[in-house]
């Protein structure tokens, strides 16, 4: 699998890179960023996956996430994929919350989306192989996190793959796409009207259906404009409590949905993951 280097720059003693490759999952060129901290030649480092939110590319967290200092301190590789396939020939929607930039980390089954919108397979199967082949990554030590739509992605992908991810966290995740307008629109569009099929892409439903991870850390800003209608952390809290799924939900007063919120708590999340990944 070939990897094109779009950019590599020095930062915090390591290297921030942006890469592109031809994806067999999406049938498009896909872009992602990887930060590799300073490390001894030949050593392999644990990996943190960061899944971004609606409208984002790899660039938002790469520029504004403030993760590099602590990744260098703790020796963590940080990977930021794109949020959907893009480009000519890829279907799109005028809305910000559907189509390009809004893949929701699902494998679409409905036309015209199913041809390219295979983001679950891309994140679960294809990109890990590319990372293992091209970076000094210890694939036996992976953690996953994400923001908003990407928080939903991190939770659902971790719940599907508890053997792969030793740690999972989220920033202001969509707690239950089955129970919010963003989720209804995306899952009906990508998967069709059968709500039973949506349950594979709903963290609360997955936990209800028996999936488990060792622990979950969630930070949620209480001044987040999407809190009441879209994010609903109380649904995750109730579901985890009923299922005895360990959850640390921190309600952060005064914080909104932006990268000012994410960057503030990024350090806590990286340390949470590092503890569980044996750093």
| Catalytic residue ranges | 148, 224, 257
Does residue 254 touch a second copy according to CB under 8 A?
yes
Instruction: Name which of residues 7 to 46 contact a second copy (CB under 8 A).
Output: 9-13, 16
Does residue 69 touch a second copy according to CB under 8 A?
yes
Does residue 210 touch a second copy according to CB under 8 A?
no
Contact between residue 143 and residue 168 where contact means Cβ atoms under 8 Å apart: yes
Cβ 264 to a second copy shortest distance, Å:
5
Sole residue written with tokens 């994400």: 146
- Please identify which residue in 169, 259, 269, 276 interacts with a second copy, judged by CB under 8 A: 259
Q: Which is nearer to a second copy, 112 or 225 (CB)?
A: 225
Q: Which is nearer to a second copy, 161 or 258 (CB)?
A: 258
Does residue 258 touch a second copy according to CB under 8 A?
yes
Cα–Cα dist 159/162, whole Å: 6
Tokens representing 271 are 């340390």
Cβ 247 to a second copy shortest distance, Å:
23
Cis amide prior to 112 (ω within 30 degrees): yes
Contact between residue 78 and residue 50 where contact means Cβ atoms under 8 Å apart: yes
Grouping H, G, I as helix, E, B as strand and the rest as coil, residue 258 is: coil
Which positions lie near a second copy, rule CB under 8 A? 9-13, 16, 63-64, 66, 68-69, 221, 223, 254-256, 258-261, 263-264, 267
């Amino acid at each position: 699998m070939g990897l094109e280097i779009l950019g590599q720059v020095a930062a915090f003693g390591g290297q921030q890179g942006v890469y592109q490759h031809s994806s067999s999952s999406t049938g498009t060129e896909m872009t992602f960023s990887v930060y590799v901290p300073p490390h001894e030649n030949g050593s392999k480092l644990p990996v943190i996956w960061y899944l971004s939110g609606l409208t984002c590319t790899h660039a938002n967290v790469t520029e504004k996430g403030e993760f590099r200092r602590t990744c260098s301190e703790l020796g963590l590789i940080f990977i930021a994929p794109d949020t959907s396939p893009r480009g000519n020939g890829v279907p799109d929607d005028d809305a910000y919350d559907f189509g390009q930039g809004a893949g929701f980390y699902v494998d679409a089954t409905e036309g015209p989306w199913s041809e390219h919108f295979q983001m679950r397979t891309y994140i679960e199967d294809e990109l890990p192989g590319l990372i293992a082949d091209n970076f000094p990554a210890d694939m036996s030590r992976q953690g996953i996190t994400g923001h908003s739509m990407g928080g939903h992605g991190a939770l659902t992908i971790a719940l599907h793959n508890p053997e792969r991810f030793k740690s999972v966290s989220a920033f202001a995740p969509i707690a239950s796409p089955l129970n919010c307008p963003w989720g209804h629109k995306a899952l009906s569009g990508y998967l069709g009207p059968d709500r039973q099929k949506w349950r594979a892409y709903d963290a609360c439903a997955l936990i209800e259906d028996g999936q488990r991870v060792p622990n979950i850390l969630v930070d949620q800003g209480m001044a987040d404009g999407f809190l009441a209608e879209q994010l609903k952390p109380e649904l995750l809290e109730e579901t985890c409590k009923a299922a005895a799924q360990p959850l640390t939900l921190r309600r952060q007063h005064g914080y909104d949905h932006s990268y000012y919120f994410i960057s503030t708590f990024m350090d806590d999340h990286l340390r949470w993951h590092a503890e569980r990944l044996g750093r």
